[in-house]
Structure 1
Amino acid sequence: MIVNAQQTSEPRTYVDRILEQWHEDEGVEALVQGAQRLTRGEARQRLFGLGQALRRQGLEPGDGVGLFLANRVDSVLVQLAVHLIGCRVVFLPPEPGPGELAALVEQSRARAVITDPLFADRAADAAGRSVHAPVLLSLGPCEEQCADLLALEAECPTVRPDGIPAPAADEPVTVLYTGGTLGRPKLAAHSHRLYDTLMGVAEDTPQDSRTNFFPTMAPGTDRVLVSTLLTHGSGHLTSIQALVIGAPLVVLPEFEPGAALKVLREERITATMFVPPMLYALLDHPECVPGALPELRRVVVGGAASSPSRLQQTVDVLGPVLSQGYGQSEALGIAAFGADDLASEGARRPELWRSCGRAITDTQIEIRGDDSTVALPVRQVGEVCVRGETVMLGYYEDPERTAEAMHDGWLRTGDMGYLDDEGYLYLVDRAKDIIVTGSTSDNVYSRVLEDFLLTLPGVRNAAALGVPDEEFGEAVQIFLATAEGTDVDPDAVGAAVTAELGDLYTPRKTILLDQLPTTKVGKVDKKALRAAWVS
């Protein structure tokens, strides 16, 4: 007899809940990626086998495990397996360059790094720089010197690993990368409170339209597509919310509008999440016409600023399916706007198309001034501060920056905005210097880019801005103050950035100046740069 939930009085984890679902109707599909289709029973056995294989590598509860994974079914299972054996998930997204990735592995104290074969060379380089000498495992054979985790799984019994204690209330179980500097990344650490909240949402009926991003997901009726990266907050939450209620999860390996339309149609997808450039590309595809996706009931858009006209176009083409969500790595759920609310309220108040909704259930939002302690009046712009169960514990192993970001349970998001008299939140700018760009709306962290630019010959000072871009929302533009008598080649600078930090960081435009404007306290005045140089 297979035990699916721990037979003790210990708290039930979200993995227990998923296993309870997978124990019922074992022939029902659970995970799908193209021709790979796993039933609930098969997924459960794979999960147990992966958990056993990881334990055989010497991993113990509380150990950190870095996940450098592409979108695939095996990636979903291995993330669950890490939590199943009581280890800490450390998501390693593909954006960071070699130096930042190595610092991320080091600071997270990862005892193992599990990589997709596509990323094996980068994973091996990062692991090799860590003093912790993490074990390197691959999801399949690869040329690097790492063990094939899938081959190890095949040799293990498909029974649940035993002797795993429940995580403590404030134990970090999931860590997400959220930028930083080349040598000191920021790692947002979350406890099981986040997953307890998701379980409560899934099991709470009737559901409030602002409770979560998929307010109508229900077992037996929904099929969910995850199209954003599984190692980002959006992809992680999409997959967990689907699995907790027993909905089949379809994984899109890589976003391309034609392929996405085909999967949405053929897999009869009812709910999914897109970042704005994905949604726009889908709308621009010639086959995306009214009636093309009759099964689709919910499309969540989030992760970056959205165009109100494009949101209205979505409703015109796909029907009243659109929901909006606002969150960040430090608080994976802050505000939401349900499709029903958007359809009805948006007609009454057109300005709501610029809103990101109201606070989700059990979450508080305040707009605060410069001292970050006093709430500002309605419609006055200040920093968005939030408190609730989806807020991080803090930055992992970083009490100094945790103290800067959090006070009395309130998180300073770094985003600037205001609330209207009905509690709708409007974002107007980012205090944090994050540029959201690329076909999948990935993050370019200005500080990381600026730190690298300052290592280049002839560069005295540097600033990076996100400038409007019709295709990707924002593009990277850099400003360099060059040393007198030096000849800095913008093309060479761009090539150096690409080589060290990756294509996402490649500047669209480079402006050379004698000096950068500064504020009264000596910081680079990016507002002045934007006003003078960004049209």
Structure 2
Amino acid sequence: MRRTNTVHALLRRVTRGNGFYIGELFHAAARRNPTTPITLDRPLQWAPDRGLDFTVGQLADQIDDLAARLWAAGVRPADRVALYKTDNFDIALLACATARIGAVPALLSPALDGSVVRELLARLDRPWLLTDGDTLGGKLSGSPLTDVVHKTLLSAGEAPEQSDGTLSLADYAGARRRDPVFLHPHQPSLITHSSGTTGIPKLAVHCPETGWHRLVPQKIVAWPIRERETAALCMTFVHSRFYQGLAMFLGHGNPMVIAVDPDPAHIGPLFTRTRPGYIETHPNTYVDWEELAEAPGAPLSSVRVFGATFDAMHPRTIQRMLGASRRNRPLFVQFYGQSEIGPMAGRWYTRRSAHKADGRCVGLPLPGFISLRVVDDAGKRVASGRTGHLEVRSRTRILTYLGEDDRYKSQLHDGWWRVGDMGHVDRWGLLHLMDREVDRIETMDSNLAAEDLLMSRLEELREIVIVAGPDGEPVPVVATRGERPLDPGRWRRATWDLPAMAPFRQFPFDELPRTSTRKIQRPELARIVRETPPPPIAAGQGPSSEAGA
């Protein structure tokens, strides 16, 4: 304990006053080497004529141009600017431009419904709205905005005829460039939202100092592949992790590939052409990318490091990713974290260790950055190996939930943050994640562990989620590759040693409710299961055949 406290004190002294400023990401990289290449998979919506290939210096110049236009339109330091627009990398450029002039970007996922966005805009207390013509005339159509936003700015396209007072950034071309504005390290500088797996997303308020503390351990991990490998990112542009990923590799001078479309049919040729040495995407996207292991052109053969940070990974997927690489000693690096804290624990796998991967083991709490404890319902520490509530103490925690400060404070206990997950720490200090507190089912030791096991036993599964049925019984919901019917006999053999479950329910993959990071919205899925009449039970998949006999 004394050694841990010493490490914390040293890091606090070394990093005090530092800040993570997304408005400076590309400019700092350009000062290092303005010719570092960045390849996109889709033209920028705001500048489609500029193609797919850029340098860091060119993107820094575009950010300066956008920042000048935002200032000319009237945006000022500390103003909140809600970004809700068509999915494209220009979301990141607009966010960086907003931050460049000291305003606070609030990033709202393109996957959110317009009604949810309207509620979040109200919580943001009349922000600027930065959007595009397609979104304004689509998801936001029929939703009056004048009472919830200050003004609406268009980054691309034209406003619908019924829109009043909408401004276009195109009208401010040639605006005078501005010097950057750096907010105080403790001042709100970025707003993102939680995954929304349990309802309306929470708005998480970040500041530069907490972002810096999140970045330090991640840059250490990226150090061995600095400058040498092309880094490919395919993840949502509205999550703080994307900007941390940019900082990791822009700061080290790595060439980068930025992809919007995760479809394997699109990603395969992109990776075959660009040959990345590092890739990172959402865990559920990695499941889809399993088919790239045998795709023409061997698109994963060049990968030296696979990164995953949003959630625990299925062991089957880790094994297939590593097996697809032709590098001598590829690694799969996994971080466990959440929007409110950032990365909390991590570990890596090699080809030799991947077959022993435990999907519930998410690694060691990051030494010097994260203190973790497991407590019972009364808040008392439990013994090693016993499952309880996970709580952490760190310098990486967000400032608050915007408009829900009481909700934020309710998760704090003497400086310890209640993560919302259940788990235990083994005798080696490794953290094992069991379930979300709100998703626990009495008859299951761990829904997530059962899902990992079934993904490994049934290679045709593209997704499996176990939710509580109308009477609290576990109901497995499955989706298969190619939407082929799941064979009841194979299901029966795969589940013979698991606790009793209701008959599985098969849904088309695209009908499963998801968040911006492609996590399943389990409460919403449970509602759908309760309200959708079950199909006739196929022979061999009734409850008795699944009851661990």
Tell me, yes or no, whether TM beats 0.5: yes
Secondary structure class of the residue paired with 1:101: helix
State which of 241, 245, 250 in structure 2 corresponds to 1:243.
Answer: 250
Match of 1:421 among 424, 427, 430: 427
1:38 is the counterpart of 2:54: yes
C-alpha deviation, 1:469, in angstroms: 2.5
In structure 2, what residue type is equivalent to 1:173? L
Match of 1:171 among 172, 176, 188: 188
Match of 1:192 among 208, 213, 221: 208
- Report the equivalent of 1:161: 179
**Cα contact 1:272–1:299 (8 A) shared by 2:** yes
Structure-2 separation of matches of 1:41 and 1:128: 40
Indicate the SS of the match to 2:224: coil
Is the Cα contact below 8 Å between 1:93 and 1:231 reproduced in 2? Answer: yes
TM-aligned CA deviation for residue 300 of structure 1: 1.7
**SS of residue matched to 2:374:** strand
Find the partner of 1:131 among 147, 150, 164. 147
Confirm whether residue 409 of structure 1 aligns to residue 426 of structure 2. no
Cα 1:181/1:40, change in 2 over 3 Å: closer
2:362 is paired with a residue whose SS is coil
Q: Are residue 63 (structure 1) and residue 79 (structure 2) matched?
A: yes
1:20 counterpart residue number: 28
Tell me what 2:348 maps to.
338
Q: Deviations over 1:504-523 (max 9, x none)?
A: 8577954369xxxxxxxxxx
Identity percentage of aligned residues: 18
- SS of alignment partner, residue 342 of structure 2: strand
Please state which structure has a larger fraction of its residues in strand. 1
Report the CA distance shift for 1:110/1:77 in structure 2 as closer, same or farther (over 3 A).
farther
Q: Which runs of 5+ in 1 are unaligned?
A: 1-9, 451-460, 473-496, 514-530
**Do structure 1's residue 391 and structure 2's residue 385 form an aligned pair?**
no
Q: How does 1:286-365 map to 2 (within 5 A)?
A: 287-288=294-295, 292-318=299-325, 320-339=330-349, 342=350, 350=356, 352-361=358-367, 362-365=369-372
Superposed, 1:27-106 pairs within 5 Å as 27-30=35-38, 32-34=40-42, 35-106=51-122
CA spacing shift, 1:251–1:292, aligned 2, 3 Å: closer
Q: Give the counterpart letter for 1:32 in structure 2.
A: L
Query: Any conservation in 2 of the 1:227–1:255 contact (CA below 8 Å)?
Result: yes
CA distance in 2, matches of 1:290, 1:352: 31
Distance 1:118 1:399 in 2: 34
Q: For each residue in 1:84-132, what CA deviation from the matched residue of structure 2 results, as whole angstroms up to 9, or x when unmatched?
A: 1112221211343333221111102252122244433356459734634
Per-residue CA distance 1:392-413 (angstroms, 9 max, x = gap): 2221222210121122332111
1:56/1:368 CA distance change after superposition, 3 Å: same
Counterpart CA distance in 1 for 2:131 and 2:171 is 14
The answer (yes or no) to whether the contact 1:367–1:384 under 8 Å persists in 2 is yes
Q: 1:152–1:25: structure 2 CA closer, same or farther, 3 Å change rule? A: farther
In the alignment, which of 260, 263, 279 is matched to residue 270 of structure 2?
263
CA drift at 1:259: 1.1
Q: Describe the shift of the 1:39–1:102 C-alpha distance in structure 2 as closer, same or farther (beyond 3 A).
A: same
Q: Cα distance 1:466–1:128, how it changes in 2: closer, same or farther (>3 A)?
A: farther
Larger CA deviation: 171-180 vs 107-116: 171-180
Distance 1:118 1:390, change over 3 A: farther
Shift of 1:293: 3.1
Alpha-carbon distance, 1:415 to partner:
0.7
What is aligned with 1:272?
279
Residue 127 of structure 2 aligns to a residue in which SS? strand
Match for residue 127 of structure 2?
Answer: 111
Describe the SS at the equivalent of 2:245: helix
Q: CA deviation at 1:416?
A: 0.7
More deviation, 17-26/283-292? 283-292
- Cα distance in structure 1, aligned partners of 2:400 and 2:295: 42
Shift of 1:48: 0.9
Partner of residue 478 from structure 2, selected from 464, 469, 480: 469
CA contact (8 A) 1:86 1:167 kept: no
Separation (CA, whole Å) in 2 of partners of 1:110 and 1:431:
34
Question: 2: distance between equivalents of 1:247 and 1:96?
Answer: 32
C-alpha contact 2:335 2:345 (8 A) present in aligned 1: yes
Q: Structure 1 residues 400 and 292, CA, compared in 2 at 3 Å: closer, same or farther?
A: closer
Residue 179 of structure 2 aligns to a residue in which SS?
coil
Cα deviation for residue 230 of structure 1 reads 0.8
Q: Pick closer, same or farther for the CA change 1:36–1:376 going to 2, 3 Å.
A: same
Q: What SS is found at the alignment partner of 1:229?
A: coil
Question: Deviations 1:181-212 (Å, cap 9, x if unpaired)?
Answer: 87x64212221123322553466xxx3x5xxx
- Determine the C-alpha separation between the residues in 1 that align with 2:311 and 2:142: 29
Following TM superposition, by how much is the alpha carbon of 1:43 offset from its aligned partner in structure 2, in angstroms? Answer: 1.2
Give 2:348's aligned amino acid.
G
Report the residue type matching 1:57 in the other structure. A
**DSSP 3-state at the match of 1:114:** strand
Equivalent-residue separation in structure 1 for 2:337 and 2:172 (angstroms):
35
- The superposition leaves residues 300-324 of structure 1 with CA deviations (integer Å, 9 ceiling, x where unpaired) of 2343443223322322222633121
Structure 1 distance, partners of 2:371, 2:211, is 18
Cα deviation, 1:337-363, whole Å, max 9, x if unaligned, reads 134xx556557xx25454111112411
- Gaps of at least 5 residues in structure 2 are 1-16, 43-50, 441-446, 452-461, 482-511, 514-519, 533-542
CA distance in 2, matches of 1:381, 1:25: 49
Where 2:427 maps in the other structure, the secondary structure is coil
How far 1:51 sits from its partner (Å)?
0.9
The answer (yes or no) to whether the contact 1:384–1:417 under 8 Å persists in 2 is yes
Superposed displacement of residue 327, structure 1 = 1.3
Measured against aligned partners, the alpha-carbon deviations of 1:1-60 in whole angstroms (never above 9, x if no partner) come to: xxxxxxxxx966434354122134323324534542222221121111111111122222
1:375 paired residue among 371, 376, 381:
381
Partner AA of 1:324 in structure 2 = Q
Structure-1 separation of matches of 2:26 and 2:531: 55
- Number of equivalences: 450
Q: Secondary structure at the match of 2:92?
A: helix
> How far apart are the structure 2 equivalents of 1:325 and 1:126?
41
